[in-house]
């Protein structure tokens, strides 16, 4: 059963398996390979100083970096409608414009620099909720958004430790709530993992 509610232009015909650099047609094996490569690339990103400002180009590059070894669409905005469960994400023809608007807003806010911890968490939750609702990539949205948040926070003088959240469902549920315009759980989660840099 597909987690997405329709066949995809990104999948091998008649399957839910995404076309990939290894030509793997088994979804479980593909997920294993994807996880290994994405974790390796994530560790590379975390060893580098983040680019400042953490703008739209940085966000797209994070996705490209994480999935470049596996998928040909790494770093590219999705070109089809997609949904999970009861959530239908933004129409692909609106993605570029909506992302530009969101990142223009982030730039106007000075990339969240100079904010108190409470204000930083509130505004970060807003941007993460918006990025999740857009769901700009065919795969890897959650990982790209979390790494983007880490880099944005680092440049704003905060440290995010996603590893503190031992149960992935807590992150998923917080983002589901945020999709339904309730950021309370996401803000609480961010409060748990956010510390001011010393």
The pLDDT of residue 84: 83
CA distance 189 to 158: 15
**Where is average pLDDT lowest: 43-47, 80-84, 123-127, 188-192?**
80-84
Pick the CATH number of 27-196 from 3.30.43.10, 1.10.3720.10, 1.10.3290.10, 3.30.70.260: 1.10.3290.10
Write down the pLDDT at residue 86: 79
Contacts of 127 (CB under 8 A, 6+ apart): 102, 106, 152
Give the separation between CA 13 and CA 192, rounded to whole angstroms: 43
What integer pLDDT is reported at residue 6 of this predicted model? 52
**pTM: predicted TM-score of the whole model, two decimal places:** 0.93
For residue 1, pLDDT over 50 is answered with no
Q: Is the pLDDT of residue 192 over 90?
A: yes
Task: Sketch the domain layout of the chain as residue ranges.
Answer: 27-196
Mean pLDDT of 133-156: 96
Residue 98 has pLDDT above 90, yes or no: yes
Q: Cis omega (within 30 of 0) on the bond before 19? A: no
Q: Which residues pair with 159 in a beta bridge?
A: 195
User: Which tokens sit at 133?
Assistant: 């609702």
Asked if 89 and 133 count as a contact pair (C-beta separation under 8 A), the reply is yes
């Amino acid at each position: 059963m597909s987690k997405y509610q329709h066949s995809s232009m990104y999948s091998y015909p008649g399957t839910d398996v995404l076309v990939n650099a290894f030509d793997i047609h088994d979804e479980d094996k593909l997920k294993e390979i994807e996880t290994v490569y994405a974790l390796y690339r994530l560790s590379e990103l975390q060893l580098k100083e983040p680019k400042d400002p953490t703008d739209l180009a940085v966000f797209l590059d994070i996705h490209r970096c994480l999935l470049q070894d596996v998928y040909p669409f790494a770093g590219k905005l999705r070109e089809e409608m997609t949904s999970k469960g009861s959530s239908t994400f933004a129409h692909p023809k609106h993605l570029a414009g909506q992302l530009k608007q969101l990142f223009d807003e982030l730039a106007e806010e000075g990339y969240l620099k100079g904010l108190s911890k409470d204000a930083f968490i509130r505004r970060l939750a807003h941007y993460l909720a918006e990025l999740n609702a857009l769901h700009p990539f065919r795969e890897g949205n959650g990982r790209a958004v979390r790494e983007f948040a880490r880099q944005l926070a680092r440049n704003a003088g905060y440290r995010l430790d996603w590893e503190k959240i031992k149960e992935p469902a807590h992150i998923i549920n917080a983002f589901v709530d945020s999709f339904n315009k309730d950021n309370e759980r996401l803000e609480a989660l961010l409060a748990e993992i956010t510390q001011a840099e010393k």
